[in-house]
């Protein structure tokens, strides 16, 4: 089948304020050339008139995606695919949707790119202990003489989780003279070795690495996994980075350790709850660097996800295999 033989009826449903970032003009123009394009809607507009799905073959979305429940699916009798320009499909999928066996695409791999870039930058800063030394310099108003730091030569970096983002971070670190350790119960030693990583248990990861970066999905077995006892084993001056999910860290037990161990630095791009409650120590501890989801795709970076969706739509039209379809069993891993 050629692109000219079938131009599927396509509807974009997502929040309006991010629409032009995720699907910028050049991407929208390509989508409109590939499809019979309908006027975009918000989730609220679709809920008010689900009949707008009548005849729709491809549903596009992003932030503010509609929940694919029995009501909406009842109107989407022609639906062939759902393509989501965001990282997670869990909030919008239901048992009724999976029962229809409609392919759904996630742009998680596109969102992984800026997260991995942010993480790499923080790892390199952590190996030089930039945040700690800057704090001490301000406090003492004097330059420290030849400060001892792990640096980027033969030091150890730990990754908790080797999913899409963790694996990408590991691949970036292959360009540096560091040893990368990882903990991931679903990754075997051969796969880790292909990434240039050595698998260790969680205790060794925290006790032996100068920087530990968290990339674990939020599951029942990972909730609160990183607790105060683990963080207390970090070596002097170590850095903890969390760009995964806030609830992977047991903040009530970790915060007292950070308060006592001013040599440590915690770079937290995610928290639980989010944002932190008023008066939380996360706002005031000098060794906590708090950022509001800066790691994920922001502003123009979000257009990369729209480009991924467009490429997948082209494959769908041509009858080629989709490269970013999410299997039902894997949907919960894209938290």
- Active-site annotation, residues: 245, 274, 293
Collapsing DSSP to helix, strand or coil, 134 comes out as: helix
Between CA 126 and CA 265 the distance in angstroms is 8
294's torsion region: left (phi>0), alpha (psi -120 to 50) or beta? Answer: alpha
Collapsing DSSP to helix, strand or coil, 146 comes out as: coil
Collapsing DSSP to helix, strand or coil, 314 comes out as: helix
- Cα torsion 247, 65, 110, 221: sign: positive
Collapsing DSSP to helix, strand or coil, 105 comes out as: strand
DSSP 154-207: EEEEEEE--SHHHHHHHHHHTTSEEEEEEE-TTS-HHHHHHTTEEE--HHHHHH
Report which secondary-structure segment, H or E, holds 315: helix 303-318
Report which secondary-structure segment, H or E, holds 267: strand 265-268
């Amino acid at each position: 089948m050629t692109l000219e033989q079938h131009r599927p009826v396509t509807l974009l449903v997502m929040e309006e304020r991010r629409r032009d970032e995720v699907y910028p003009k050049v991407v929208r123009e390509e989508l409109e050339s590939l499809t019979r394009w309908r006027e975009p809607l918000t989730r609220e507009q679709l809920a008010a008139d689900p009949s707008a799905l009548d005849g729709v073959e491809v549903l596009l979305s992003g932030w503010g995606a509609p929940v694919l429940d029995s009501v909406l699916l009842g109107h989407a009798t022609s639906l062939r695919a759902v393509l989501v320009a965001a990282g997670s499909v869990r909030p919008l999928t239901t048992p009724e949707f999976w029962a229809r066996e409609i392919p759904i695409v996630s742009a998680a791999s596109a969102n992984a790119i800026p997260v991995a870039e942010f993480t790499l930058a923080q790892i390199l800063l952590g190996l030089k202990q930039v945040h700690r030394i800057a704090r001490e310099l301000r406090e003492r108003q004097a330059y420290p003489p030849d400060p001892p730091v792990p640096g980027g030569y033969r030091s150890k970096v730990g990754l908790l989780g080797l999913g899409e983002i963790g694996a990408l971070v590991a691949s970036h670190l292959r360009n540096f003279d560091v040893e990368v350790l990882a903990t991931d119960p679903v990754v075997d030693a051969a796969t880790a070795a292909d990434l240039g990583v050595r698998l260790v248990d969680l205790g060794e990861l925290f006790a032996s690495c100068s920087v530990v970066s968290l990339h674990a999905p939020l599951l029942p077995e990972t909730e609160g996994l990183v607790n105060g006892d683990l963080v207390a084993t970090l070596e002097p001056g170590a850095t903890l980075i969390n760009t995964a999910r806030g609830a992977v860290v047991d903040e009530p037990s970790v915060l007292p350790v950070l308060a006592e161990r001013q040599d440590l630095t915690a770079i937290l791009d995610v928290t639980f709850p989010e944002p932190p409650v008023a008066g939380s120590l996360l706002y005031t501890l000098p060794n906590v660097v708090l950022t509001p989801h800066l790691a994920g795709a922001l502003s123009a970076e979000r257009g990369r996800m729209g480009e991924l969706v467009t490429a997948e739509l082209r494959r769908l039209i041509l009858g080629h295999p989709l490269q970013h379809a999410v299997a039902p069993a894997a949907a919960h891993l894209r938290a």
